[in-house]
Structure 1
Amino acid sequence: MLDWSRIDTVLLDMDGTLLDLHYDNHFWMEHLPLRYAEANDISVPEARELVIRMTDALRGTLDWYCLRYWSDALKMDIAAMYREIEDRIALRPHTDNFLRSLRQMNKRALLVTNAHPDGLSHKLEVTGIDQWLDEIISSHDLGHAKESVLFWHSLQERQPFDPERTLFVDDNLHVLGAARDYGIAHLLCIRQPDSKHPAREISEFPAIHDFDEILGVL
């Protein structure tokens, strides 16, 4: 699937790519509505509907990913609540082997994520994946979400890379579209970012279920 001789830099998303998206989906759809309902004396379905309505209005923007924004908007300590279910944080299958293989092949591996720094540091603390990464970049540090082509221009200024010799792996089709528009030559989408949800049919980009599908050619 990949000609690794043509790839120098590997850009990797975190949630839904390296880590199981179940943790985040469970937090926003189950845990947060439950805690919000308890704090505001409303039903869990009412709380869930409120959270969905508020998040849908900002989907794809930097605020959508900002834990501090949601702490202010919902009057709750979102970062602290994240830790209440940290036992659900998990690597996706074969992630550790894949990251080790990139290091052995002398590929430059960068984490590029929309995760807010507060949540990002927590997940790195739990998983330890930062030991295999050459650099970690949050969109909050660059001022633009990955859905915007401006993110990719800012990333190029911060961590120069050759788009023609770069592989980018993500589970978000809108993000992959922005990377394609910027000119990144090698793109891969994750079919099943959440282990508790069915795999998706992906036609817009080359797609894999797990990293073992490309480990064999490393």
Structure 2
Amino acid sequence: MELPYDAVLCDFDGVIRHYDAGRLTALERDCGLAEGTTMKIALAPELLLPVSQGQITTDQWTASIVAELERLLGSAEKAAALGRAFAEARAQVDEEVLDLLRQAQARVPVVLVTNATVQLEDDLRALGLAHFFDEVVSSARVGTVKPGRRIYEIAAERAGVPPARCLFVDDRRENVEAARVLGMTGVFYREVANLREALAPLLDGDRGPASS
């Protein structure tokens, strides 16, 4: 039976890698900030785009976050503590997700497609994933970010298949919608079951394409 996809393109953070924000959340509470304030600042386009496009280092990005926090709190000490907690948050991988991707990889290439910093390669090594993916498309290396069209085209090119033959998995709806515009099958990831359903045709050739 013909496979419904010839490549799997998968996001990193929020799908494969997850952070423990407990310490950061506690510090935000102590500082009188709403939970998630630091992350909201970090992901603001004016701070995130330069590091995601490889224009600045991760340390420079963290410094810009701390500067915004200092303006908000009026305290360099508290801002620095929040910056350290953000930068040092512990990460772990979802082994169930990795196992599903590993099974799919026996039949099609699996490509990591992520809005990342220039630190991504070091992070992959630290997590034991340096050689896991068939290809890695990092925004910091290619200079373009999701949901921009070009990063999806690069990922399909590296996978060696047309976009219409790609399954794309991401935990941000706008990124999934952008993939669908290019003809990819898009899966909005919320839990492992979403990935398992989408990959089912690659894991047991008896099932048809999953709906997304």
Q: Compute the TM-score of the two structures, normalised by the length of structure 1.
A: 0.65
Give the structure 1 partner of residue 190 of structure 2: 191
Cα pair 1:60 1:145 within 8 Å, conserved: no
Q: Which amino acid aligns with 1:14?
A: F
Give the structure 1 partner of residue 32 of structure 2: 45
Residue 62, structure 1, aligned to residue 64, structure 2: no
TM-align CA RMSD: 3.8
Between the aligned partners of 1:68 and 1:160, the Cα distance in structure 2 is 35
Between the aligned partners of 2:158 and 2:92, the Cα distance in structure 1 is 29
When the two structures are aligned, how many residues end up with a matched partner? 186
CA gap of 1:45–1:124, structure 2 versus 1, over 3 A, is same
Give the structure 1 partner of residue 103 of structure 2: 101
For 1:103-182, list aligned pairs within 5 A.
103-105=105-107, 107-118=108-119, 120-155=120-155, 160-182=160-182
After superposition, the C-alpha distances for 1:20-50 in whole angstroms (9 at most, x for unaligned) are 3xx06x17xx52883xx8xxxxx52249686
CA gap of 1:102–1:52, structure 2 versus 1, over 3 A, is closer
Aligned-residue identity in percent: 24
Secondary structure at the residue paired with 1:183? coil
Between the aligned partners of 1:13 and 1:19, the Cα distance in structure 2 is 9
CA gap of 1:53–1:176, structure 2 versus 1, over 3 A, is closer
Between the aligned partners of 1:171 and 1:179, the Cα distance in structure 2 is 12
Secondary structure at the residue paired with 1:130? coil
Deviates more, 1:62-71 or 1:95-104: 62-71
Query: How far off its partner does 1:149 sit?
Result: 1.9
Between the aligned partners of 1:82 and 1:130, the Cα distance in structure 2 is 23
Q: Which amino acid aligns with 1:130?
A: A
Give the structure 2 partner of residue 211 of structure 1: 196
Give the structure 2 partner of residue 92 of structure 1: 94
Deviates more, 1:128-137 or 1:145-154: 145-154
Larger radius of gyration: 2
Between the aligned partners of 1:60 and 1:85, the Cα distance in structure 2 is 19
Q: Compute the TM-score of the two structures, normalised by the length of structure 2.
A: 0.67
